[in-house]
Every structure is written in structure tokens, then in C-alpha cells.
């Protein structure tokens, strides 16, 4: 069992807990950087998708996992980011300008839903975000002069610092770079006053207010940052797909994003990456097993959805802490072996008093 | 068509569609009042109900009324089982868990329905005793299907109101909804009450599905109408049974009118725009009460 | 001039006047306690001062400033902190995180500085940590620093909530039933801490309390409420001996 001996407050603030962390993350980084030399183009593409979804997942996790604001319509921000990028690239903007703008615009849309939603909690907020996403989807489809509506829109190549990003692995590196930046940003926020304020809002709005946290400011900020990150992911998605249409950004995608967050484990950034990997690899896994299953079951188009839904239900029922939670439990089990107590992770059920006013 | 007649026609059609929204919203509200859970799979229950009806009437060839009744009964059992098996273990967990759980259930139900042989991804219809009949009243073309929806909804709401207000079981359910602990102490088996409420809610969804079938035909994406029911429930106020119906009708009428008077695309989002406005201006809806946590 | 002036405060819920024409003043450095049977309106007054509720009538003046309609999050910034009757801690955070949040009103950094973690942010974090450690020492919470609040026993949680309120460095500290749920030893510790808070930290205290021994031990003045109205005000012994107060508690 590793015991971390602390000698300064700096240690608590640092992003890494001990030398071992640096080693493992360094190794991971090395693996990611050398992947294109080792893996087939197809898998690089899958990794790129994973990175893109992970970026969106970080956004959603900040909002739902850390600030406690349920968003059932995050695909809206993804779509806004994607279309902004497509439109700007078409208009001749350089990537280094269009990309951040896509994020900023998505962030602005986030504020647009965050502000009116300030007084809403839990369920009502979830429904509001759902409604909002539908409206945004409809706008994207109807605003044909800009988005070409249901016809869809081709996305031009990125030209970065004079270099054309025209292969999978080039896009892959950009995606990984953005993912790392976004994660660092999120981690920084979480170890700062803003991040703590987010968690405070999630756990007790009354207490947060009594400590001087302006709910309106921080909830809106959470929406803005979350939407901006998701918008950046959308922009990259546009370049990955090379052709976008409004039907990509429906409630299915919102649920996929949520599935990622749930499977990964709420309140865990590591979990987001696990979740993204899971969501992207699941169709692959199903495709492989399809051959094994009796043809009656295997040929059904609904199979993927059914398994999707089943996993969602099972995770909620049996492992609400997600994959990362399971990983933590396993680590914990080994670190305190043989003194493991099941009750360490037992869920606390809470009942709050609601009164009618 | 002259304006008054046109508007009346539009309004009537809107009311009929709104009744369906209202019925689905009613299903939401029943479960919410009892357990503070919103069943995001309510639309899928509607779809299942319609498919059960199709199976009994279309496939097995039973007469319409018998088939419909069996479908409603089947869904009642299904709803009760759903609560017993899936929902009960998650009591006391935060809202997010419920939301994701019921969303997941909805996905499973739709996907499995599309995989069942004989159901699959085809579109079906069932013959009703009143299909395609129309009545002409003072220049209005009233489809009997629509009329039937409105009448059936009103009857159903009246029956439910009577049930909850005047029967022992209904009153016991109300008690369980309002104060679980007190109900327990009175000897009411609260958990069973909740399963029964889920059963009733599923039956209401089934009735909605059966009423909707002649109008929109039966296929696995029928459940999407459930999403329109959210604006209805919110408008009515999530805790109110008559509110759900009123909310549904208002949404239906607004949709119908905007389909005609506003540019294309507005009809699809009209309901959601109303939803957002209500949530911003008066979150508790028309008939609801606001609740807040006591510190 | 008094630190806190409450004038004719009133609020109504449905048909019931939970607080009806309540007035009192608190001087700086006082320990002022409100007592009364359940439902007397004590916590409601706290909620009015911390602006969770809007009053029907009356005014609240703090440090010469009218805060009757102030926004809730501004109250902490003005120097008022509180604890809650049923503990409103951040369950899924550590004790340290809870306390660090107490420093929120002293923060000067913006989120764009934090996302990049500029040195000014690091500096502020270290400063916060030192301040918070002082409070941890004051209340003997060293053992619990890294623990998640949800795993702590009730008595410790009450102390953590007190610590969090202290971390805001308030001028006025409102304690809602600080000894409820505590055993004899913990209550005794609490009474020492309350007196230390006044003496060492110079903070004025407004308390709601049921434990009459604690009330008598620490309070300078006591206000007795019943049914939302003031019964009497004065020294602990005079109030506790007052016939109306006794009748309110025991019923007639």
C-alpha cells in the first residue's frame, strides 16, 4: 500500500500525486504519440473519434458530473461547434481562428440555455435542455442559407501552419493535442475556486449561496465552459466526418454522450476517457460478436440500441460509479488486502425534505 | 374555407391530438406524483400498448374491443413488473440515476420491439369499428377517430378521477403519494401501491396508443410522441392530473394553429418553445405548486 | 450603533405568520441566543437574514446597511456566515474542500486565470490553505482533513460546518442549534469553542439553541419566541425564569 507523505501544501495542489503518476501518464502519452506508427489507419480513425468524444465528455462531465446540472441535449453544442467550423472553413477562415470561434460560439449557445435555466433544478432542467436541443436541431436543419439544411454540408480540410491536414494520423494528433489541453484546463478548474464552487452547487445550493457563491454566475459559467469544450469536439468531428448533416446531432448523440459519462463514472475525468473508449468500441465489439450469435438475433438492426440501453440500465443499477469506480474499487481492494470492507463504497441513499410553498 | 370555420377545424384537430399528449402526460404525472420519478420511457409504453393491440386484433384476429382490453391489461401487468423489477432497487438515488435509467429502459423497449418477429420495423394498422368515418357538422369535417379520442380521454379522466377520489384503493394510492411514511403507518403497502400506479400509468399509455393507432399507424417510433408530452406535463404542472390533460390540449391546439399560420418547421418545435417559456416564466405550470427544500 | 438591527420582521407561509413583528438588536461582540419551542420561527429568522426567504414586512440592517432585500450570495460577502439546522455540507467533497469553499468570498481570481492556473491562482490557493489550517487547528479537525464528509459521524460534521462558516472570516456568525445531536462532551467542547470564537476571533454570535445549559453558559442576552412573536428578551436567567416562556414550553 502506497503511503503518500506530504511535506507541503504544494503537494496537495499539484496535478500529480507522486512520481508514479508521472511515470504512468508519461507512458500513456508515449503510447498515444507512437500509435500511428504501429496501428492501422482504421484504428487511428477510431482513436481520433474516441478523443473527440472524450473532449465532449469532459465538457459534459464538468456540467453534469461536477456541477450537478443534468443536460439531456448536449448534442446541440456539438452540432453548433461542427457547423460553425464547417461554415467558417468554407468562408476561408484559417483553422487557428475558426476552431476557437467554434468553441466560443458553442459556449455562447451554452449561456443562452444556461441563463433561462438558472432557476430550474434536476428534472426541470433536464427537460429544458431536451427541449432546447430539439429547437437547435430544427434551427440547424431549417437555416438552409447557412447550413444547407438536410442536404448536409461538406467540410474543407484544415490548413494548419502551412500544412494540410489531409490524413487520418494528422487529424489524430490534433485531436489528442486538443484532448490533453482540454483535460488540463478541466483539471485546473477543478483544483481552483471555480471548480470547488461547481461541486458546491451540486451538493448544496443553499450552503453554496451562504458562502458567497453566486449561483447564477457559476451555473452559467459551467454551461458556457461545458458547451465550449463540446463545441470544440464538434468542430473536430466535422473534420473527421468531412460531411455533416443535422441528423447527426440528435437526441441519440446526446444520450451517447450521457452514456459515456455514466459508464465512465460521474465525477471522474479519467472515467470520461474510459467512457469514450467504451462508446466508440461498443459497435465494433457487437459487430464481432454478431457472427457468433444466431442469425435471427444478429441480423436485427435494433441489436446495437438494445445492448446500448441494457448497459445503461445495468450500470445505473449495479455500478453507478461507472468503470472508473470499479477500477477504484479494484485498486482499493488490492491496496488494503486482506482488510477490504465492502461497506467502504456502499452507496448512501438520501432523502430530502420537500415542503410545499 | 372561411376563417371561423378554419380555426374551429384546426382547434378541434388540435384538441384531439392534444388529448393524446394529455394521456401520455397523465401517465407521467401519475408516476411522478407517487414516486417523484419521471418515466422517460412513457412514450415507449404507448408504443408497446399499440403493438399488443395489433397482436391481439391484427395477428390473432380477436374483435376490436376484446383485443383492446387485453392490450390494456397486458400493459398494466408489464408496468407493474417494470416497477417491481427495475425501479424499486433505485429508490433514494439522485434524480440523474432515475432519468438515465428510464431513458435506458425506453431504448431497450424500442429496440427489443423492433426485433420481435411479426413486429419488427414495419408499419401496421388495426381496423377499428369507426375507421375512416367522418361526420359533417356545419361545414366542419370531424373525423370520428378524432372524436373518439376526445370522448375516450374525457371518460378515462373522469374514471380515474372517480377512482382516486372515491375508492379505497384510490385513496390509499393518494396517501402513498403524499406521505409514504404516514401511509406505511396506516398499514398501506406502499411499495405495492407504487407498482400498481405504474401499472395504471402503463394502461393509460396503452389506451393512448390504441387511440392513436388509427390516426398515426403503428410502428416502433411511435414512442416519440412521448417527448411532446413533456411540454404538456410541465404546462399543466407536474403534480396535477387534470393539469396534464389541460396542458396536453393546449399544446395540441398551439401546434395545430402554428402548423397552419407559422412558417414550416415551427409546428415541430412549437411545443418545445412553449415548454421553455413556461419553465422560465412559471416553472410550476398552471396547476402545480412549487416545492423547495427545507433548510 | 448595533451590529444587527431587526425591525418588525414578518413573513407568512400560506395562512400562517411564521414570524410576526419580531424586533431585536445585537451589539458587536455579543453572544445573542434565540430560544423557543419548535415552530416558533427561529430558523425562519435565520433564513430571512441569509435571504433564503423574502420577508413580508420589516427590515434587517447589518453594519448600517439595509440587507432586507439583498441577494443571498452577497450576505457572505458582507460578513455574515451561518450553519444549518440539518447540516448542509458538501457530502461528496473532503473536509478540506468544504473548508476551502469557506474562503470563497475572499477570492480575487477569474476563471480564465484558473483554467490556465496562473501563478496568482497558485498563490491564492496556498494562502487559502494556510488560513484553513488555522481553523483546522482551532477546532481539532486534523484527523479528518482528507475524509469525505459523507463518511463522517454526525458530531464531526457539525464541527466541520462550524469550521466552514469560520473560514469565511465573518463578523457575524449564525449558529442554528449547534448542540443538537451532540452528546454531553461534544456539547461542552462546543460551548468552549463558542466562547473562544467570541474572545479570540472577535466574532459576534447569533444562536438558536434548545440546550438551556449551553444557553445559560455562553449567552449574553436571550430572546424568547413563540408562534412567531417575541415573548421577552433579557439575560439568560431572567428569560428562563419568565412565566410566559415557561408556559410556552410546557403548555398551559
Q: Report d(CA A264, CA A279) in Å as an integer.
A: 10
Q: In the predicted model, is pLDDT for residue B245 greater than 80?
A: yes
Contact between A232 and A81 (Cβ < 8 Å): yes
Phi, psi for A5 (deg, rounded to 5): -90, 120
Query: What share of chain A has pLDDT > 70, as a percent?
Result: 88
Q: Domain range holding A159?
A: 24-250
More confident residue, A129 or A15: A129
Do residues C175 and C159 both lie within one domain?
A: no
The winner for highest mean pLDDT among A137-146, A248-257, B169-178, C167-176 is: C167-176
Question: Is residue C138 situated within a structural domain?
Answer: yes
Radius of gyration over alpha carbons of chain B, in Å? 19
CATH of the domain at C21: 3.40.50.300
Instruction: Return all residues near B202 (Cβ < 8 A) that are at least 6 apart.
Output: B27, B45, B49, B75, B76, B78, B79, B80, B82
Give the closest of B89, B115, B275 to A127, CB-based.
Answer: B275
Q: Does A250 touch chain C (CB under 8 A)?
A: no
Domain membership of residue A45 (yes or no) is yes
pLDDT score recorded for residue B294: 64
Instruction: Indicate yes or no: CB of A199 within 8 angstroms of CB of C91.
Output: no
Q: Please give the torsion angle defined by the CA atoms of residues B4, B5, B6 and B9, in that order, rounded to the nearest 10 degrees.
A: 120
C97-147: pLDDT as tens digits: 999 999 998 988 888 888 888 888 888 989 999 999 999 999 999 999 988
Q: Does residue C108 share a domain with residue C70?
A: no
Is residue C86 one of the residues assigned to a domain?
A: no
In this structure, are strands B291-293 and B140-143 parallel, antiparallel, or unpaired?
unpaired
Residues C239 and C134 placed together within one structural domain of the fold: no
Q: Which pLDDT score is estimated for A356?
A: 39
- Give the C-alpha separation, B263 to A214, whole Å: 40
Chain B contact present for C88, CB below 8 A: yes
Mode of pairing for the β-strands spanning C57-62 and C4-13 = antiparallel
Q: Which cell goes with A274?
A: 474510459
**Alpha-carbon dihedral angle through residues B159, B165, B167, B172, given to the nearest 10 degrees:** 120
SS3 A62: helix
CB interface of A with B, residues 203-232, below 8 Å: 206
Tens-digit pLDDT profile for residues A149-199: 777 888 877 777 767 777 888 889 999 999 999 999 999 999 899 999 999
Residues C138 and C195 in one domain: no
Three-class SS string for B198-267? HHHHHHHHHHHHHHHHHHHCECHHHHHHHHHHHHHHHHHCCCCHHHHHHHHHHHHHHHHHHHHHCCCCHH
The alpha-carbon gap from B231 to the nearest alpha carbon of chain A, in Å, equals 9
Determine, yes or no, domain membership for A7: no
Classify residue B200 as exposed, middle or buried by CB count within 10 Å of its CB (0-12, 13-18, 19+). Answer: buried
Asked if residue C251 and residue C201 are part of one domain, the reply reads yes
Most A CBs within 10 Å, among B44, B83, B115, B274, to test the A interface:
B115
Nearest chain B residue to C46, by CA: B295
A305 touches chain B (CB under 8 A): yes
In a domain, C100, yes or no: yes
- The proportion of chain B whose per-residue pLDDT surpasses 70, expressed as a percent, equals 96
Interface contact A312, partner B, CB < 8 A: yes
Give the chains touching B; criterion: ≥3 Cβ pairs < 8 Å: A, C
- Whether B295 and chain C come into contact, CB under 8 Å, resolves to yes
| Residue after which a domain boundary falls, among C103, C134, C164 | C164
Q: Which of C122, C146, C164 is the last residue of a domain?
A: C164
The pLDDT, as a whole number, for residue A342 is: 66
Q: Is B288 on the interface with A (CB under 8 A)?
A: no
| CB within 8 Å: B110 and A305 | yes
Dihedral over Cα of A60, A198, B295, C159: its sign: positive
Domains held by chain A: number: 1
Interface mutation target, options C38, C52, C90, chain B, most CBs of B under 10 Å = C52
- Place A141 in a pLDDT band, splitting at 50, 70 and 90: confident
Find the closest chain B residue to A303 by CA distance: B111
Helix (H, G, I), strand (E, B) or coil at A126: helix
A355 backbone φψ class: left, alpha, beta (φ>0; ψ -120 to 50): beta
Backbone torsions φ then ψ of C15, nearest 5 degrees: -100, 0
User: What is the rounded average pLDDT for all residues in chain C?
Assistant: 91
pLDDT at A18: 64
| Total domains in the fold of chain C | 2
Query: Cα separation of C47 and B293, whole Å?
Result: 12
Specify if A131 maps to a domain: yes
Mutate to test the interface with C, among A16, A67, A111, A210 (most CBs of C within 10 A): A210
Whether the pLDDT of residue A7 is over 70: the answer is yes
The predicted structure's pLDDT at residue C67? 93
| Chain B residues touching C39 at Cβ < 8 A | none
SS3 of B72-123: HHHHHHHHHHHHHHHHHHHCCCCHHHHHHHHHHHHHHHHHHHHHCCCCCCCC
The mean predicted confidence, pLDDT, of chain A is: 83
* A351 vs A42, higher pLDDT: A42
Residues C119 and C156 in one domain: yes
Query: What is the arithmetic mean of pLDDT over B205-210?
Result: 92
Chain B residue with CA closest to A202: the answer is B94
* pLDDT value for A357: 33
Give the contacts of B285 (CB within 8 A, at least 6 positions apart): B233, B234, B235, B236, B237, B238, B240, B243, B247, B278
Residue A145: how many CB atoms within 10 A of its CB?
Answer: 7
All three cell numbers of C41, joined, read 420561527
Residue from A8, A190, A211 to probe the interface with C (highest C Cβ count within 10 Å): A211
Q: What confidence tens digit (pLDDT) does each residue in A13-60 have? A: 777 666 667 777 888 888 888 887 888 888 888 899 999 999 999 999
User: Can you give the three-state secondary structure of C130-160, one letter per residue?
Assistant: HHHHHHHHHHCCHHHCCCEHHHCCHHHHHHH
**C2 and C61 part of one domain:** yes
Q: Which domain holds residue C4?
A: 1-79+170-252
One domain for residues C3 and C72: yes
- pLDDT band of B1, cuts 50, 70, 90: low
Q: Looking at the complex, does the CB of residue C121 fall below 8 Å from at least one CB of chain A?
A: yes
Residue C243 burial (C-beta neighbours within 10 Å; 0-12, 13-18, 19+):
exposed
The distance of C181 to chain B (nearest Cα, Å) reads 16
Confidence check: pLDDT of A353 > 70: no
Residue where a domain terminates, one of C146, C164, C182 = C164
Give the residue from chain A lying closest to C149, CA to CA.
A203
Do C187 and C121 lie in one domain? The reply is: no
Q: Is residue C88 part of a domain?
A: no
Which residues of chain C make contact with A212, given a CB cutoff of 8 A?
73-77, 104-105, 168
Q: Which residues on adjacent β-strands are paired with residue C80?
A: C172
Pairing of strands C31-35, B134-137: unpaired
Q: A27 to chain B, minimum CA–CA distance in Å? A: 35
**Among candidates C13, C89, C115 on the partner chain, residue whose Cβ is nearest the Cβ of A188:** C115
Q: Domain extents for chain B?
A: 26-228
Amino acid at each position: 500500500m502506497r503511503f503518500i507523505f506530504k511535506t507541503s501544501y504544494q503537494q496537495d495542489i499539484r496535478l500529480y500525486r507522486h512520481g508514479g503518476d508521472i511515470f504512468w501518464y508519461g507512458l500513456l502519452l508515449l503510447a498515444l504519440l507512437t500509435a500511428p506508427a504501429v496501428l492501422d489507419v482504421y484504428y487511428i480513425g477510431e482513436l481520433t473519434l474516441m478523443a473527440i468524444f472524450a473532449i465532449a465528455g469532459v465538457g459534459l462531465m464538468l456540467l453534469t458530473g461536477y456541477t450537478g446540472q443534468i443536460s439531456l441535449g448536449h448534442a446541440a453544442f456539438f452540432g453548433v461547434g461542427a457547423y460553425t467550423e464547417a461554415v467558417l472553413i468554407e468562408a476561408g477562415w484559417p483553422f487557428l481562428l475558426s476552431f476557437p470561434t467554434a468553441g466560443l460560439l458553442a459556449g455562447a449557445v451554452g449561456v443562452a440555455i444556461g441563463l433561462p435555466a438558472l432557476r430550474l433544478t434536476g428534472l426541470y432542467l433536464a427537460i429544458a435542455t431536451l427541449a432546447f436541443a430539439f429547437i437547435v436541431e430544427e434551427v440547424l436543419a431549417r437555416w438552409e442559407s447557412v447550413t444547407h439544411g438536410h442536404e448536409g454540408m461538406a467540410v474543407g480540410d484544415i490548413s494548419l501552419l502551412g500544412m494540410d491536414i489531409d490524413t487520418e494520423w494528422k487529424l489524430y494528433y490534433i485531436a489528442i493535442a486538443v484532448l490533453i489541453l482540454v483535460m488540463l484546463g478541466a483539471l485546473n478548474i477543478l483544483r481552483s475556486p471555480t471548480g470547488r464552487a461547481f461541486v458546491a452547487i451540486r451538493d448544496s445550493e443553499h450552503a453554496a449561496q451562504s458562502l458567497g457563491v453566486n449561483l447564477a454566475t457559476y451555473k452559467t459559467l459551467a454551461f458556457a465552459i461545458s458547451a465550449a469544450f463540446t463545441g470544440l469536439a464538434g468542430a473536430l468531428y466535422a473534420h473527421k466526418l468531412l460531411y455533416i448533416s443535422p441528423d447527426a446531432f440528435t437526441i441519440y448523440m446526446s444520450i451517447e454522450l450521457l452514456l459515456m459519462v455514466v459508464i465512465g463514472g460521474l465525477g471522474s475525468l479519467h472515467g470520461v476517457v474510459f467512457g469514450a473508449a467504451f462508446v466508440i468500441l461498443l459497435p465494433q465489439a457487437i459487430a464481432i460478436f454478431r457472427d457468433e450469435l444466431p442469425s435471427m438475433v444478429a441480423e436485427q438492426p435494433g441489436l446495437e440500441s438494445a445492448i446500448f440501453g441494457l448497459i445503461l440500465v445495468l450500470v445505473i443499477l449495479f455500478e453507478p460509479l461507472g468503470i472508473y469506480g470499479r477500477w477504484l474499487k479494484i485498486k482499493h481492494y488490492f491496496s488494503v488486502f486482506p482488510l477490504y470492507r465492502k461497506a467502504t463504497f456502499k452507496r448512501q441513499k438520501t432523502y430530502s425534505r420537500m415542503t410545499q410553498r | 374555407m372561411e376563417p371561423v370555420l378554419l380555426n374551429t377545424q384546426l382547434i378541434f384537430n388540435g384538441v384531439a391530438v392534444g388529448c393524446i399528449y394529455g394521456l401520455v402526460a397523465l401517465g407521467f404525472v401519475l408516476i411522478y406524483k407517487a414516486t417523484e420519478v419521471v418515466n422517460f420511457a412513457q412514450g415507449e409504453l404507448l408504443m408497446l400498448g399499440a403493438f399488443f393491440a395489433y397482436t391481439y386484433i391484427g395477428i390473432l384476429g380477436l374483435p376490436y374491443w376484446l383485443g383492446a382490453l387485453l392490450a390494456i391489461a397486458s400493459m398494466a401487468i408489464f408496468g407493474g413488473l417494470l416497477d417491481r423489477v427495475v425501479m424499486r432497487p433505485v429508490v433514494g438515488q439522485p434524480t440523474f440515476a432515475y432519468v438515465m435509467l428510464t431513458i435506458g429502459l425506453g431504448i431497450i423497449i424500442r429496440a427489443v420491439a423492433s426485433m420481435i418477429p411479426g413486429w419488427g420495423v414495419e408499419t401496421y394498422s388495426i381496423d377499428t369499428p369507426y375507421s375512416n368515418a367522418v361526420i359533417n357538422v356545419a361545414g366542419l369535417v370531424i373525423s370520428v377517430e378524432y372524436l373518439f379520442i376526445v370522448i375516450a380521454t374525457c371518460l378515462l379522466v373522469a374514471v380515474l378521477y372517480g377512482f382516486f377520489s372515491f375508492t379505497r384503493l384510490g385513496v390509499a394510492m393518494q396517501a402513498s403519494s403524499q406521505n409514504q411514511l404516514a401511509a406505511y403507518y396506516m398499514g398501506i403497502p406502499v411499495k405495492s401501491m407504487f407498482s400498481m400506479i405504474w401499472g395504471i400509468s402503463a394502461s393509460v399509455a396503452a389506451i393512448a396508443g390504441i387511440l392513436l393507432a388509427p390516426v398515426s399507424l403503428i410502428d416502433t417510433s411511435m414512442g416519440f410522441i412521448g417527448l411532446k408530452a413533456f411540454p404538456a406535463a410541465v404546462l399543466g404542472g407536474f403534480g396535477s392530473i387534470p393539469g396534464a390533460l389541460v396542458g396536453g390540449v393546449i399544446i395540441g391546439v398551439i401546434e395545430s394553429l402554428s402548423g397552419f399560420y407559422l412558417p414550416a418547421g415551427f409546428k415541430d418545435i412549437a411545443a418545445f418553445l412553449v415548454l421553455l417559456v413556461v419553465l422560465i416564466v412559471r416553472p410550476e405550470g398552471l396547476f402545480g405548486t412549487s416545492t423547495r427544500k427545507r433548510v | 450603533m448595533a451590529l444587527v438591527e431587526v425591525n418588525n420582521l414578518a413573513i407568512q407561509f400560506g395562512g400562517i405568520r411564521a414570524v410576526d413583528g419580531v424586533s431585536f438588536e445585537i451589539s458587536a461582540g455579543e453572544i445573542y441566543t434565540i430560544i423557543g419551542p419548535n415552530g416558533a420561527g427561529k430558523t425562519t429568522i435565520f433564513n430571512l437574514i441569509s435571504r433564503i426567504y423574502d420577508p413580508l414586512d420589516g427590515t434587517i440592517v447589518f453594519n448600517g446597511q439595509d440587507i432586507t432585500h439583498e441577494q443571498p450570495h452577497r450576505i457572505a460577502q458582507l460578513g455574515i456566515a451561518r450553519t444549518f439546522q440539518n447540516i448542509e455540507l458538501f457530502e461528496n467533497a473532503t473536509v478540506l474542500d468544504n473548508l476551502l469553499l469557506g474562503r470563497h468570498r475572499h477570492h480575487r481570481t477569474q476563471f480564465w486565470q484558473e483554467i490556465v492556473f496562473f501563478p496568482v491562482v497558485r498563490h491564492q490557493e496556498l494562502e487559502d490553505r494556510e488560513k484553513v489550517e488555522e481553523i483546522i487547528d482551532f477546532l481539532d479537525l486534523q484527523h479528518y482533513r482528507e475524509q469525505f464528509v459523507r463518511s463522517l459521524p454526525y458530531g464531526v460534521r457539525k464541527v466541520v460546518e462550524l469550521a466552514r462558516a469560520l473560514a469565511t472570516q465573518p463578523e457575524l456568525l449564525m449558529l442554528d442549534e449547534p448542540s443538537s445531536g451532540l452528546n454531553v462532551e461534544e456539547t461542552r467542547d462546543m460551548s468552549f469553542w463558542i466562547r473562544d470564537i467570541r474572545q479570540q476571533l472577535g466574532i459576534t454570535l447569533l444562536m438558536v439553541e434548545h440546550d438551556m445549559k449551553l444557553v445559560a453558559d455562553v449567552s449574553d442576552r436571550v430572546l424568547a419566541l413563540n408562534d412567531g412573536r417575541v415573548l421577552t428578551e433579557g439575560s439568560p436567567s431572567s428569560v428562563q425564569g419568565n412565566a410566559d416562556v415557561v408556559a410556552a414550553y410546557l403548555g398551559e
